[in-house]
A and B are shown apart, each in its own frame.
Chain A
Amino acid sequence: MRDGINTARLGIPAVSLVTEDFWPQGNFVAQALGMPSFPRVQLPHPLAGTGTAHLRSVAEAMAAQIIGGLKND
């Protein structure tokens, strides 16, 4: 979340990807950094180490939301 907000502050469109277990932390950081409505997409948890096939399926399922966030739809 912090990286996403810092990227956006550079004028670069950004969406933060936040896994389910870290969603409350994402909300906390967005609030603390003064951008509570910063676009973010919730991913399943865990992701790390779940294998290429699973990661690909998550990416395919979430791509539209991520692009939508970047376009600020």
Chain B
Amino acid sequence: MTDLLQAVDESAALEMLHEAGCTDGLPVIVPTPDRVSTLVLATGLDADLQLGSMGPANGVATVGKVATAAVMAGCLPDHMPIVMGAVNAVLDPLFDLAEMQSTTHCTAPLIIVNGPGRHSCGPVASGFGALGPGHRANACIGRALRLCMINIGGARPGESDMALLGHPGKFTYCLAEDEEHSPFTAMHTDLGFAPDDTVVTVIGAEAPHSVMYSGDADDSEDANKLLEVLAIGLANMATNNAVLTGGGAVVILNPEHAKILHDNDFDRRAIITKLWQLTHYPTERLAYFSANFAARIKGDTYRCFDKPEDILLLMAGGSGLYSMVMPSWCAGANRNQYVSKKVDLEQFCEVPALAAMADQN
């Protein structure tokens, strides 16, 4: 821990952090040494342990710096396994974080949590309004990653983070899969992990786009129509996925839509394969809107996604008419790949929460 700032009180410290550009614009918890030490303790690691280099500033992400961001974000010690998993995911070279932070596109890291850590590290919400306000772990974990990207990665709007407008998910963007109520296998098991593994998957994603579909059990084409509207949202001609192609994207089915697909014998594999097929487009459609981007394509049709597995599929949210899709950026050396990290919960330590410590004081 170096370069400690001094202030006369918490209010003055907060203003100093705002002034220094170290916040996301909202008030933060002032990261005093004691508070940071508590979250470092929770990780079971040394504060000076280096996790990797975070672009575009190439700041070295240490456990202590990540814990500092987590304190500022309002995290509890229990949140740290997911925070560390998310940080390790974006530090993976496959994630292309430096390029993602620098792009003019609005992309933001969406954190998806699977496995038992959904309950023990939060809980991380997966039901009604999981991407909205009111869920502390979702809010704080995603915010902690963002504050790392600001203060370690050096992302500042208009100088190093060149997103033309950004999106609200750049404050926080985190949810869990509702594995208990999903008719499908859990997302992380499709990615090669065991059901009991706690896995954090991060993908650079646009803001969530609502996809409305009102099911009709009397319609034999019910499931196919649902898949068609999901595909439209996922890769319409206004998305990078349809123009740049080759990236990943996310589909979040609400329980009602998941049931429609399940009742019509679609499993996880069949769903993403069908979405992949439905996003094979005539090249002339792309040429109409973006001749320059169409010029590279050989043949009369092209694929928005290289393979079905590039589409992340999970179930979350309340039950109703609306699912969500998140198109993506599709650029960078690795084309906006998602990265999943298994979190070893045994490594982390149970420590008193900040509020409990405050009560003792």
Contact = CB atoms under 8 A, between A and B. Distances in A.
A25 interface: yes
B287 to A, nearest CB: 15
B207 to A, nearest CB: 23
A32 B154 contact: yes
Interface in B94-110: 98-99, 102
A22 B162 contact: yes
Contacts of B55: 32
B159 interface: yes
B154 A25 contact: no
A29 B160 CA distance: 7
B162 A25 contact: yes
Contacts of B160: 25, 28-29, 32
Given A2-B98, A25-B102, A28-B154, A33 B159 contact: no
A32 B59 CA distance: 9
A72 B160 CA distance: 27
A28 B159 contact: yes
A24 interface: yes
A46 B57 CA distance: 25
Interface in B281-311: none
Contact of A25 (B58, B99, B159): B159
Interface in B144-193: 154, 158-160, 162
B312 to A, nearest CB: 27
A73 B194 CA distance: 60
Contacts of B102: 2, 25, 29
A24 B56 CA distance: 13
Nearest to B59: A32
Interface string A17-30: 00000101100110
Nearest to A27: B159
A33 B162 contact: no
Contacts of A22: 162
B189 to A, nearest CB: 37
Nearest to B55: A32
B56 A29 contact: yes
B159 A32 contact: no
A32 B162 CA distance: 15
Given A2-B98, A25-B102, A32 B158 contact: no
A22 B161 CA distance: 10
Interface in B332-361: none
Given A2-B98, A25-B102, A33 B158 contact: no
Contacts of B98: 2
A40 B78 CA distance: 47
A33 B58 contact: yes
B334 to A, nearest CB: 15
Contacts of B58: 32-33
A22 B154 CA distance: 16
Interface in B56-85: 56-58
Contacts of A25: 102, 159-160, 162
A32 B152 CA distance: 12
Contacts of A24: 158-159
Q: Nearest 10 CB-CB pairs, A to B?
A: A28-B160, A32-B57, A24-B159, A32-B58, A25-B162, A28-B159, A32-B56, A29-B56, A25-B160, A25-B159
Given A25-B160, A28-B56, A28-B57, 16 more contacts: A2-B98, A2-B99, A2-B102, A22-B162, A24-B158, A24-B159, A25-B162, A28-B159, A28-B160, A29-B56, A29-B102, A32-B57, A32-B58, A32-B154, A32-B160, A33-B58
Interface of B: 55-58, 98-99, 102, 154, 158-160, 162
25 contacts: A2-B98, A2-B99, A2-B102, A22-B162, A24-B158, A24-B159, A25-B102, A25-B159, A25-B160, A25-B162, A28-B56, A28-B57, A28-B154, A28-B159, A28-B160, A29-B56, A29-B102, A29-B160, A32-B55, A32-B56, A32-B57, A32-B58, A32-B154, A32-B160, A33-B58
